[in-house]
Amino acid sequence: MLSRLIRRSMLAALPLTAFVSGTSVHAEDAPPALMAQDLTGPTVIAPSKPKASALQFEPRRIAWPFDLPWGVAFLPDGRILVTERQGALRVIENGTLLTQPIAGIPEVISGGHAGLLDVLISRDFESSHRIYLSYTHGAPGEISMRVMSAVLGESELTNQTVIFDSRPAQPGYDQIGGRLAYGPDGLLYLTLGDRTDKDRAQNLLDHSGTIVRFREDGSIPDDNPFVGREDALPEIFTYGHRNPQGLVTSRGDGKLWSVEHGPYGGDELNLIEAGANYGWPLVTYGIDYDGTVISDKTTAPGITGPVYKWVPSVAPSSLASYGGDVMPENWKGDFLLGTLSGERFIRLTMTDGSVTGEEQTLHHAIGRIRNVIAAPDGYVYLLTDGHSASLYRLEPLTEEMAGADAQ
């Protein structure tokens, strides 16, 4: 950990041209000073500036401290589950973070970006009490991404069943994806990153760099796009991804969307459609961290381009779709993103499948944002990153408060 901190502080002081070949930095980890630099990539768009005047809420810290938290799930009884990467499933009950984690979670291998990642409650949770966990499993050199189905009791999991296990198991703790979500079809989707080995994202016999689709019992739908092909794994739904960490069914258009970390520049918002190739590393809007060009192309035949991109990178960690009644009416159907190195909260206004507005707020206000959740209670929650992290709830500023400020 110490060496990592030193590496970060050194990098922050170095210009891009001073990077030595082979230095391993990822969008997730790159310090804000680095990411804020301008780029000479294939295409550069001006990042929208955070607008303080647009702030219609303030973050209120409701639970802490968490150690490397990642996933959040809201239970119908009001409890909140939070995963910690080193292997704990924490519980917030009546506003208190319980010291005792849930027992019976799977053994995980953690380090880098890896460990216990997402938690998702079943659509029939009220009757089944079933949850799903994504996590890295195995030994150094042989790490796979798994999804476990289990039944949540008062303080422990039972009926644990592994319903997905990525292959091939391989080395690498970074760029592993890990986001679980229900698609519009009621099936489970999981994102998998390229494990810093970019060519894997174009290899259909490798789950790395893909989004996979399976049923709640782990079986594979007959209409998955590559079922029946000998040169492809049947769970794969889309491929050519670098490190997707956000995945959500839109409350606006009802379609499945994802955000992924690009390299140095080129984070993407993608509309996820069966069988599509999102291009990594054949085409990209970014360049490599050592300054080398990964591809001189941003489009190619057969490649599905992003609906929206960020150059320079913001490092999007998560994607939510707002549909509640607590925040302003015009938020309905919008996408909400947390960002890591960008340390900001982003709201994207969507119109007919296109981004028609981007609002960036909370810049450096609460640190790196690991997750953003549009919760069943209508509030938006933000989970920060790191070894002393917190869960925040966005409190809308009332008209009375706004009026008081103006006087």
Binding site for Ca ion (CB under 5 A): 278-279
Helices vs strands, H then E, count in the chain = 4, 24
Q: Which is nearer to Ca ion, 81 or 259 (CB)?
A: 259
Minimum CB separation of residue 4 from Ca ion in Å reads 28
Let me know: does 83 contact 116? Beta carbons within 8 Å.
yes
Amino acid identity at 339: T
- From residue 38, give the alpha-carbon distance in Å to each of 41, 221, 312, 403: 9, 44, 6, 39
Find tokens 């998702």 and name the residue: 120
Residue from 51, 48, 40, 59 nearest 397 by CA: 59
How many Cβ atoms sit within 10 Å of the Cβ of residue 119? 22
What separation, in Å, do the N-terminal and C-terminal C-alpha atoms of the chain show? 49
Q: Which is nearer to Ca ion, 278 or 381 (CB)?
A: 278
Q: Which is nearer to Ca ion, 172 or 279 (CB)?
A: 279
CA 189/CA 216 separation, integer angstroms: 10
Q: 73-88: string of b/e by CB count within 10 Å (b at 16+)? A: bbbeeeebbbbbbebb
Minimum CB separation of residue 51 from Ca ion in Å reads 28
Minimum CB separation of residue 12 from Ca ion in Å reads 27
Q: Which is nearer to Ca ion, 260 or 359 (CB)?
A: 260
- From residue 234, give the alpha-carbon distance in Å to each of 141, 229, 299: 24, 8, 26
Minimum CB separation of residue 140 from Ca ion in Å reads 30
Q: Which is nearer to Ca ion, 112 or 209 (CB)?
A: 209
Minimum CB separation of residue 42 from Ca ion in Å reads 12
Minimum CB separation of residue 43 from Ca ion in Å reads 13
| Burial grade of 175 (CB within 10 A; 0-12, 13-18, 19 or more) | buried
Q: Which is nearer to Ca ion, 11 or 269 (CB)?
A: 269
Q: Which is nearer to Ca ion, 136 or 245 (CB)?
A: 245
Minimum CB separation of residue 297 from Ca ion in Å reads 11
Minimum CB separation of residue 189 from Ca ion in Å reads 17
* Residue 89 neighbours by CB under 8 Å, 6+ apart: 81, 82, 83, 101, 102, 105, 116, 119, 133, 157
CA 320/CA 355 separation, integer angstroms: 15
Q: Which is nearer to Ca ion, 144 or 270 (CB)?
A: 270
Minimum CB separation of residue 26 from Ca ion in Å reads 16
Q: Which is nearer to Ca ion, 214 or 257 (CB)?
A: 257
Q: Which helix (H) or strand (E) holds 4?
A: helix 2-12
Strand order in the sheet with 256-260: 244-249, 256-260, 267-271, 308-310
Eight-state DSSP code of residue 383: E
Q: Which helix (H) or strand (E) holds 285?
A: none
Q: Which is nearer to Ca ion, 130 or 179 (CB)?
A: 179
Eight-state DSSP code of residue 398: P
Minimum CB separation of residue 100 from Ca ion in Å reads 43
